């Protein structure tokens, strides 16, 4: 089963010089217990990944690069919520402040994972009508 979600917006940036460190942080998360289970993610595939892009792809996120090989966008390719918060917490120190990924859940909930000061926080949207 699982909770369905779709990505509706993002502004996401990681400098090329910080991607190796972000990759190591993701691998360190997975190395804690090679047999641990992360929703929708094969731990061994991440540990065998050749680069950060491939590790993110196993987490169901695809990134876009600019000419400097900086990551300038991210897109969710899955359909269900997993353990994103664990991966985003691991890479947060390497993500540019002000970055975010906005999602919409199957029940109409809207939230963002926001990145600031080396931390990732989940912030729910509040809609009001006057």
Per-residue pLDDT of 51-110, as tens digits, reads 999 999 999 999 999 999 999 999 999 999 999 999 999 999 999 999 999 999 999 999
Mean pLDDT of the chain: 94
Distance of alpha carbon 21 from alpha carbon 3, whole angstroms? 31
Q: Is 129 part of a structural domain of the chain?
A: no
CB count within 10 Å of CB 63 equals 17
Residue 38: domain span: 5-124
Count up the domains in the chain and report the number: 1
Q: Is 21 part of a structural domain of the chain?
A: yes
Q: Is 53 part of a structural domain of the chain?
A: yes
Entry pTM = 0.93
């Amino acid at each position: 089963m699982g909770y369905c979600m779709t990505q509706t917006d993002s502004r996401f940036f990681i400098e090329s010089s910080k991607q190796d460190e972000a990759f190591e942080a993701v691998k360190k998360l997975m190395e804690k217990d090679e047999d641990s289970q992360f929703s929708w993610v094969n731990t061994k595939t991440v540990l065998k990944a050749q680069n950060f892009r491939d590790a993110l792809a196993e987490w169901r996120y695809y990134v876009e690069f600019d000419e400097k090989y900086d990551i300038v966008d991210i897109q969710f390719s899955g359909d269900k919520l997993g353990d994103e918060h664990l991966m985003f917490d691991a890479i947060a120190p390497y993500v540019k402040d002000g970055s975010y990924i906005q999602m919409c859940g199957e029940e109409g909930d809207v939230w963002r994972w926001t990145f600031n000061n080396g931390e990732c926080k989940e912030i729910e949207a509040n809609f009001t009508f006057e």
